Amino acid sequence: MPLLMHIEPLLIPAELYQLGDTVTVTVHSNEPLIHIKTMTKECSLASNFVAADEDCPPPTYQIWDQWLAPFTELAELQQKVATDPSLVVCGFPANDGCVDIWHHQGQARAVYCRHSGASEAQRAMLLVALALDYPLEDAVVLARAHARSYQDHNQRAQGDLIWPTEAKVFPRALTINYHQIKQLGWLTDDQEVAPFAALGSSKLGLYPVLESADWVERVLQLGVKTTQLRIKNPQASDLEHQIQQAIVAGELAQAQVFINDYWPLAIKHHAYGVHLGQEDLDSANLVAIQQAGLRLGISTHGYYEILRALEYQPSYIALGHIFATLTKEMPSLPQGVSRLALYQKLIGKRAPTVAIGGITIERAAKVWRTGVTGVAVVSAITQADDPAIAVIALRSILAPKVEIMTAGVCDDDKHYAL
């Protein structure tokens, strides 16, 4: 019952902001596990024990969140989680704060928070976020942020619309760039990297992502000032030629042209910038990119990846994919405009942002109203009957914002005006 008292108030803002499908809660007093079923997954959770009974299959996630001194070493827990995909460590005391750890593709990932917050609030948000189809890493991050927010504001009334939105309540992603990572005892082989160069213009506006250098030249001739060359086939015979062609076109047009993925060639030919996906952060030489003076854009798909990207202080952060898209196979679900607005609020002015994924001319305005500084499009231009007209239409929609202070919510999109 104490846990339910925390869950129910969280379902109100989740529904108001349209963060996922409607969640229903059913209580079975003799059920040892918590079961969660969504449109895309089913999982079960157990807290601080292992279900060994043959009639009770092992849980999907084994949550450890109760700790008594003396504490084990953080590196030991890191290794345990790296070898056990079911283990999730929450609130482990470390260096006057706490660490949350989970498994990701054979590795352990973690966030650190100086204040653990309220434990019941943390457990409730973990369950609610999973029920809203957030991935585990985002559920863990949201749970810690809510625990902090709940404790800071002492929001105990059942009717309160409580959802973590302030950057100060969110934890820090444990990367080599976190200054206290060695004191915590978290092990990593990465190399610390300095902040990346700022964009020439942070008001990105229209940001076409294009599959050939010819298309890059074409949009630059239409007055576009920021674009990206994204060639999907690394075995393309003219790959290096196209990259060089796009870079030269950008220099002639005095535009910001980013090269997707192929950072060694981008460095070789002195590109303006590079765009990397999350998986590339583990393999790319970020130090070499930064020392070459290239700008860096990083793709993100949720709360944890945003926190991770912020640690590297990139030139901009891409947020996606917002709507379903056919231009690229995506491992995650569409984020939607409501979640996009929350991500933008979390980032604030710490980095320019670009929304990407399935954005059409018809959808561009409501995406723009979330506060992002750029909107990336692909087929809205490349498959338009007249690309020049499409560029004009999009640029008129993505005109510089006029900031208006208001105490209310906007009439037609109140579910994400936060």
Q: β-pairing, 87-94 with 42-47? A: unpaired
Q: What letters, b where the CB count within 10 A reaches 16 and e where it falls short, cover 178-198?
A: beebeebebeeeeeebeebbe
With a CB cutoff of 8 Å and minimum separation 6, the contacts of 310 are 173, 317, 347, 350, 351
Residue 342: which of 64, 145, 173 has the closest Cα? 145
Rounded distance, CA 384 to CA 390, Å? 7
What are 252's two structure tokens?
């002639």
Amino acid at 271: A
With a CB cutoff of 8 Å and minimum separation 6, the contacts of 288 are 263, 267
Rounded distance, CA 243 to CA 220, Å? 15
Residue 338: which of 165, 84, 118 has the closest Cα? 165
Residue 342 has φ and ψ, to the nearest 5°, of -70, -40
Length of the chain: 418
C-beta of residue 288 within 8 angstroms of C-beta of residue 272: no
* 87-94: strand order across its sheet: 34-37, 42-47, 61-64, 87-94, 97-104, 107-113, 172-173
Rounded distance, CA 418 to CA 409, Å? 8
Rounded distance, CA 44 to CA 37, Å? 9
What are 104's two structure tokens?
């990701």
Other beta carbons within 10 Å of 278: 16
With a CB cutoff of 8 Å and minimum separation 6, the contacts of 8 are 25, 158
Residues marked active site are found at 230, 299, 328
Angle at 5 between CA 150 and CA 36, to 5 degrees: 100
What are 131's two structure tokens?
């029920």
Q: What is the DSSP letter of 61?
A: E
